[in-house]
Amino acid sequence: MIPKVSIIVPIYNVEKFLPCCIESLLNQTLKDIEIILVDDVSPDNCPRICDEYASKDPRIKVVHKEENQGLGMGRNSGLVIASGEYVTFCDSDDFVELNTYKTVYNTCIQKDLDICCFQHRRVALDGTPLNVESQVEEKYFIGNENVYQFLLGIIGRNPEDKESVTYSMSTCMALFRRERFIATGIKFKSERTYASEDLIFMLDFLPFINSVGVIPNIFYNYRINPNSISHSYSKEKLYRLFNSMEYVRSYCHSNFEWKICKNHYYTQILRFIKIILRYTSYSNLSFKKKIQMLNEVSHHPFLEELYLDPVCKKYNITNRIILYFLKHHCGLFFIFLYQLKHD
């Protein structure tokens, strides 16, 4: 009997949070599910925890990988053995509301959707909500032309179009018709090469999709550690962020007329740049090194191009200020800005 939903959980070094994650899946109101726990050679007690849960519930499958390959490759390993009508993903330090998959699956069936996206909240390590929940409009994109508009929204908002919105989503916050994975053969790329691997996956996947739903239900609890940001800077992370920027640029040139997608693309590039500014400013680098790195970022060719585009005038005041100081290569401004935010 085919499960309605397969939930793939890549696991690495999260023994403190893993039981909460698994319990939130086992206790779903939708019982006809399979849970695929992918142990990515975790060095803690996660392998044992996985096996213990699997021995108690036949809906759980465990994959013990022989080599640590990261989140994206873990998801791919789960896809190989998934058998559900729909597939989703859950990060092993997060958890979901108990009526998540019943609600989203029923929406998929009622609307005949290839993908149905739902919403998330950020929570602290103890599960306490950290952000005000935003309101998202329920919307359905049926047919290639409408999915094409959704895809532009995944790339980014067009500031010159008042109706344009950004659809920022994670694959953990959506159900996917599994037969579309089979038909396309599309896999996740490694987050060791690209940042925002979910974005890149969606760019690759959406051209083959005929129907997408976005529902306002906040089901996914995304656990973050607010105190870890000062340790997030690394040369490897910058490398991955710049790789992703290049990937999005190449994708837009290959799949769209430039005049149609450029504003969406610039919104995404600005998002990447703000991540780089934040990580660098919060880092433990010396003050001199921070200034050097921030000034190098502000001279990036992608930004030099954006500085000259009229769309800059359409951004909100915050983004216009950021672009102004980037254009004038004032790295010191961002160090002070993010220091104030951190305090």
Cβ-based neighbour number of residue 235 at 10 Å: 8
Q: 170 with 180: CB under 8 angstroms?
A: no
Q: How far apart are CA 33 and CA 88, in angstroms?
A: 11
Q: How far apart are CA 32 and CA 182, in angstroms?
A: 21
Q: What is the pLDDT along the chain (343 residues), one digit of tens a residue?
A: 899 999 999 999 999 999 999 999 999 999 999 999 999 999 999 999 999 999 999 999 999 999 999 899 999 999 999 999 999 999 999 999 999 999 999 999 999 999 999 999 999 899 888 876 667 899 999 999 999 999 999 999 999 999 898 987 789 999 999 999 999 999 999 988 998 889 999 999 999 999 999 999 999 999 986 554 444 567 788 889 899 999 999 999 999 999 999 999 999 999 999 989 988 888 888 999 999 999 999 999 989 999 999 999 999 999 999 999 999 999 999 999 887 766 5
- CATH domain 5-224 topology: Spore Coat Polysaccharide Biosynthesis Protein SpsA; Chain A (3.90.550)
**CB within 8 Å of 257: residues ≥ 6 apart:** none
Separation of CA 265 from chain center: 17
Domain boundaries in the chain?
5-224, 229-342
Model confidence, pTM:
0.93
> What are the DSSP E strand ranges found in the chain?
5-11, 33-39, 60-64, 86-89, 95-96, 115-123, 139-142, 174-177, 211-223
Q: 265 with 156: CB under 8 angstroms?
A: yes
Q: Which two tokens stand for residue 197?
A: 């691997």
